[in-house]
A and B are shown apart, each in its own frame.
Chain A
Amino acid sequence: MSYRFENVQTVQEDLSKVEYLADDGIAGVVYLADRLQKPILVEGPAGTGKTQLAKSVAEMTGSRLIRLQCYEGLDESKALYEWNYKKQLLRIQAERNSDDSGSWEDLEEDIFSDEFLLTRPLLEAIRSEEPVVLLIDEVDRVEIETEALLLEILSDYQVSIPELGTVEARQIPLVFLTSNNTRELSEALKRRCLFLHIDYPDLEREREIILTKVPDINENLGDQIARVVRTIRDLELKKAPSVSETLDWARTLVHLGVEHIDAKTATETVNILLKYRSDIEKAVKEFSTDEQLNSEEE
């Protein structure tokens, strides 16, 4: 059994090569997932790079990314496999028309074979020959009953198809499940996974993310942006700015040719960071003294 990663250090370095800055926790858990052959359940606020982590890991290992987007009403035929019944019908028709019709058993064996099977993401991930990263996105959106579909593949990397038998994995895919924590996931699912909580990055990491992702930015501005965002996140808001919104803000400021953020620029562009009117008002109030506010109103 060969492992994908040498040690935690290399995971971190390789991830940063594909422009994903992982902290010790993230790199450690990714490394561990490979060693223990366990799926990772990634949880955290929206816009902190949960989905991106899976994509970056795929890119870094040169694996194919297979994605299953979850939604309410997802079922077996969309997640695992489906019989191509139209083709099956055609096959039966063809059988009937030709004279040398074989026995029913032959036919049954024939129409429930690989040829008539439509693979869906989960089955595809374990049947693939090449290395695969499987991303099961927003798993908290499916109903709790549907979660059961995932359990077999998550713990044993196999899919049981009644007519065909058990399909076992040709290689062990690296599995990421993401959740926005809109509901509590079942114990059974959690037990099978490693748990990783990705929170908003701390000041240093956010600054680095800004500097990597917005190449034209000067260091001073990047640092200031990270600080302002930290201050805003500490306010009690409806929706704190995500990393992607921070980056949008940084890009905007670069486009505007801003070199240094003062209260005025911050007030004028804060609507990129915050999406609720009440949040914007609150932030603006924090950033300017009362005199400034009064003079603006006049």
Chain B
Amino acid sequence: MTSETKHSPLLELLNGFIVELRGAGLPVSLTENLDAVEAVKHIPIEDRETFKYALAATLVKNHAHWRAFETVFEVYFSLRGQEYELQDGEWDDSDADFEMSDESQNGQMPGQGGGQEGLTQEQLAEMLFKALSKMDQNLMRAVARQSVQRFAGMEPGRPVGGTYYLYRTLRNLDLDGVLQRLLEQDIKSKEVSDFLDERLRKDEYEHRIEQFKKEIEAEIRRRLVADRGVEAMAKTLRKPLPEDVDFMHASREEMVSLRRAIWPLTRKLAVRLARKRRHGRKGPLDFRRTVRHSLSYGGVPAEPKFKYPKPSKPEIMVIADISGSVAAFARFTLHLVYALNNQFSKVRSFVFIDGLDEVTDFFEGVDDITEAIHRVNTEADVIWVDGHSDYGHAFEVFDERYGKDVGPKTTVMILGDARNNYHASQSWVIKEIEDKARKVFWLNPEPRSYWDTGDSIVSEYSDICDGVFEVRNLKQLEAFVENLV
């Protein structure tokens, strides 16, 4: 076998893989591409785990992209090899194309032989219970396969995403019930010593169930790949990268990763403002120091000295809409406010719906953000009439109560979608604030194309503000921070 024929199928595969990574939004440069080609020469593809990490080391330079990478990797590499090919009868009326495996794999895994086909739902549940209780990997995989085959109702060529099948399979398995049973079994056998022990056991079982779910997902993916082919499959599995996730529609899981990403961002913001202060040495001539320094040159003022500009402490005022229409964004906003609070000495935060209240105290000296958010949601007095956003009134209240605190050092950030429920905009208030403040920025979580449709009145404010930005995801928020200074 020449090295040509030995390498080219792998290289071809790698090429497609990288194209798909780029398609999923990962920035893979040419150098990194070449590195990956070099790397696969040293690590055999059979050693899948190491192979995966080797590819990741050359191609993925941001840990947030790891999940996207892993999904694509699984579709391209993990699902290859004999054990992943479909067997006869696994698909009732399948094409001959993917029924390549002549060798029967019976007996390789328990529960996969022909005799198991007639399992009842109860028997399957029993097997699952056993697998989870003993942490039997093989049995777990076998049960996952059986469940998908029985419950997912997959048909070749059906244009449905993997989540739909996952949902259908899990609905039939009652995993919560299994967890309950596992715990009860332990309690009955008197093995559980105290509450802590019980808690640890629960975590362990939950962990195993999570693993079982992953097996099911893998099984569904395996079947989908066999049906639709790698390229098409990879495309359907694409999920937005963390920095592209829309704040308004973030799932709980995505929210967690978003929160983590905020911290470095606020630090960056703080660093940017601080650096500006340090490097901006354009003060007037310091006569006294110049004369004093001239003595070392025999009285010639050879080196003029300047006064450092007084470092002005940036003050930030955040005014955030926390009404229902921007609920998901509001949650994110509060995290941002909290993070800002930790970076800047002078942050004042206000929240509003149709009334407005200051919530600075809730965030100060609080270690626990969830508690702060809880207090904001329950204690802040933000409802004036009916609890529907009224930007105009909220701004009026702001100006009346806090307007005098806005000074030339203050940067005002307004967060909201400007959906005003057809109330008056009272944009003159913003004008007044803008005259006093250093800058007024508006961050809008809605796509630009929705602006000024329906009851959105962004444009009434946008002419007055120093900038109105569409901030729907981390990337845009980051861009805003970059351009701020």
Contact = CB atoms under 8 A, between A and B. Distances in A.
Interface stretch (B264-272, B348-356, B382-390): B264-272
Interface in B311-354: none
Given A190-B61, A196-B57, A183 B267 contact: yes
Contact of B367 (A43, A192, A193, A277): A277
Kindly name the residue among B60, B193, B195, B196 whose own CB sees the greatest number of chain A CB atoms within 10 A.
B196
A28 B368 contact: no
Interface string A238-252: 100000000000000
Given A8-B47, A191-B31, A278-B368, A32 B61 contact: no
Nearest to A30: B57
B422 to A, nearest CB: 40
Contacts, number: 114
B284 to A, nearest CB: 27
Interface stretch (A81-89, A103-111, A118-126, A286-294): A286-294
B191 interface: no
Interface stretch (A57-65, A159-167, A208-216, A261-269): A261-269
Interface string A216-236: 000000001001101100101
- Pairs A-B, 8 closest by C-beta atoms: A278-B367, A25-B53, A28-B50, A263-B196, A190-B61, A194-B57, A24-B49, A197-B63
Interface of A: 8, 24-25, 27-29, 31-32, 35-36, 38, 40-41, 43-44, 181-184, 187, 190-197, 203, 224, 227-228, 230-231, 234, 236, 238, 260-263, 266, 276-279, 282, 286-289, 292
Interface stretch (B9-17, B38-46, B117-125, B228-236): B38-46
Contacts of A38: 35
A236 B271 CA distance: 27
B183 to A, nearest CB: 15
Contacts of A262: 193-194, 196-197
A194 B43 contact: no
A223 B29 CA distance: 43
B66 A197 contact: yes
A29 to B, nearest CB: 5
Contact of B53 (A28, A44, A286): A28
B13 to A, nearest CB: 19
A28 B54 contact: yes
A227 B203 contact: yes
Given A227-B203, A234-B203, A27 B197 contact: no
Contacts of A292: 195
Contacts of A231: 199-200, 203
Nearest to A289: B195
B270 to A, nearest CB: 11
Kindly name the residue among B43, B195, B207 whose own CB sees the greatest number of chain A CB atoms within 10 A.
B195
A24 B50 contact: yes
Chain B's interface: helix, strand, loop or mixed, by majority? helix
Interface residues of B, number: 41
19 contacts: A8-B43, A25-B50, A28-B53, A28-B54, A35-B42, A36-B39, A43-B63, A183-B264, A187-B27, A191-B61, A194-B57, A227-B200, A227-B204, A238-B368, A260-B193, A262-B194, A262-B196, A277-B367, A287-B196
B196 A194 contact: no
Nearest to A291: B195
Interface string B149-179: 0000000000000000000000000000000
Nearest to B41: A35
Contacts of B264: 181-184
Contact of A28 (B27, B31, B35, B43): B43
B254 interface: no
Nearest to A35: B42
Contacts of A277: 367
A189 to B, nearest CB: 9
B380 interface: no
Nearest to A25: B53
Contacts of B371: 278
Interface of B: 27, 29, 31-32, 35, 38-39, 42-43, 47, 49-51, 53-54, 56-58, 60-63, 66, 193-197, 199-200, 203-204, 207, 264, 267-268, 271, 367-368, 370-371
A234 B56 CA distance: 25
B43 A32 contact: yes
A191 B29 contact: yes
Contacts of B49: 24-25, 28
B407 to A, nearest CB: 30
A31 B42 contact: yes
A227 B271 CA distance: 39
B271 A29 contact: no
A236 B256 CA distance: 10
Contacts of B51: 28
Contacts of B61: 41, 190-191, 193, 195
Nearest to A180: B264
A26 B130 CA distance: 34
A29 B53 contact: yes
B199 A27 contact: no
A289 B63 CA distance: 37
A235 to B, nearest CB: 11
A36 B38 contact: yes
A279 B367 CA distance: 8
Contacts of B38: 36
Contacts of A195: 56-58, 60-62
Given A32-B39, A36-B35, A181-B264, A282 B368 contact: yes
B198 to A, nearest CB: 9
Contact of A182 (B193, B203, B267): B267
A187 to B, nearest CB: 8
Nearest to A184: B264
Contacts of B267: 182-183
B43 A183 contact: no
A190 B50 CA distance: 21
A286 B195 CA distance: 9
Contacts of A197: 63, 66
Contacts of B27: 187
Nearest to B61: A190
Contact of A32 (B54, B197, B200, B204): B54
B199 A287 contact: yes
A166 B368 CA distance: 54
B39 A263 contact: no
